[in-house]
Amino acid sequence: MPTGTHRASVQGTGVGLRRALMGPLADDHEHPPAFLEVAPENWMGVGGALGRRFRAFSERFAFVTHGLSLDIGGPAPLDEDHVRGIRDFLDAHGIADYTEHLSYTGDHGHLYDLMPIPFTEEAVEYVAGRVRRVQAILDQRIALENVSYYASPGARMSESAFINAVIERADCDLLLDVNNVFVNSINAGYDARAFIDSLPLARVRYLHVAGHWTEPDDLRIDTHGAPVCDDVFALLDYTYQCLGPVPTLLERDFNIPPWPELRAEMDAIEARRSAAGAVGMRHSAPAV
């Protein structure tokens, strides 16, 4: 399937919806984002005035969802009630895209972190089976995000091989986080562009891009708390060359600047995305 088309229900450049942004977004009728992303766990079951406010947003904006607690690689049984709650949330707000992290988040309780799954064949089969069950309950394909990590205990295959195997055997899509690729490339010492090339690009649903924290020259911490740096923008440009103008989501979880400043960063992303559409792809995504 060598094509530059994407699989998402949205287009353009979006931003993660944080409660601090709800006021500025409600007031911005001249230059709103193309779409918004939320963690469904933060809004499922929310009623009252805040629930009505979110409903107003979901009726006005296109949305995608990015979950936090599916625990797709965790040792506990899959929480199917949670998955059904996500299904109900998606249906209630007319949201077509659900994505999650290729990680685990629980071990006899929620860990409040995205822990790396061991890169092994056993883990591939385990995760792929759980993804297939999630997709059966939701009656739709999901997308998994490549995560940042700082250790790879028990690894018997490469990160790229692990991602490819899970995506293929689960028959799901990929949420490609460009910042995570850059962070991991510095921390693990690999070539970021070659890593992008190695991924199942025809399965990409949409992109994430964010800022990170720099410690020593050889350590990056994925924080979503800073502007996108020049090196990540350069890798984003390369990703657009490979894929074309894929929808892109700017993540900013804290140190959130005033809306005009955040909007300007989104404009910089959209300019790059649009330029990629005008130039065309450097090469086609590989078949899957």
Number of Cβ within 10 Å of residue 59's Cβ equals 9
Per the CB < 8 A criterion, the answer to whether 130 and 82 are in contact is: no
**What pLDDT score does 258 carry?**
94
Q: Please state, in angstroms and rounded to a whole number, the distance separating the CA atoms of residues 204 and 210.
A: 17
Fold of 13-279: TIM Barrel (3.20.20)
Identify the pLDDT of residue 2.
31
* Cα 181 from Cα 176, distance rounded (Å): 8
3-state DSSP: the chain helix, strand, coil percent, rounded to 5? 45, 20, 40
pTM of this structure: 0.90
Domains of the chain by residue range: 13-279
Q: What is the pLDDT of residue 221?
A: 73
Please give the pLDDT value at position 85.
97
Which residues, including other chains, have CB under 8 Å from residue 153's CB and lie 6 or more apart? Answer: 116, 118
Q: How far is CA 105 from CA 81, 114, 177, 219, in A?
A: 17, 5, 18, 23
Rounded CA-CA distance 150/236 in Å is 22
At residue 286, the pLDDT reads 42
Please report the pLDDT score of residue 277 as a whole number: 81
Amino acid at the residue 165? A
Q: Please compute, for residue 87, the number of CA atoms within 13 A of its CA located in the half-sphere on the CB side.
A: 15
* Run of H or E including 248: strand 248-251
Instruction: Name the token pair of 6.
Output: 């994407």
pLDDT of residue 60: 97
Please report, in tens digits, the pLDDT of each residue of the chain (288 residues total). 233 445 799 999 999 999 999 999 999 989 999 999 999 999 999 999 999 999 999 999 999 999 998 999 999 999 999 999 999 999 999 999 999 999 877 565 554 566 778 899 999 999 999 999 999 999 999 999 999 876 677 779 999 999 999 999 999 999 999 999 999 998 888 999 999 999 999 999 999 998 866 777 787 777 767 889 999 999 999 999 999 999 999 999 888 999 999 999 999 999 999 999 876 555 444 433
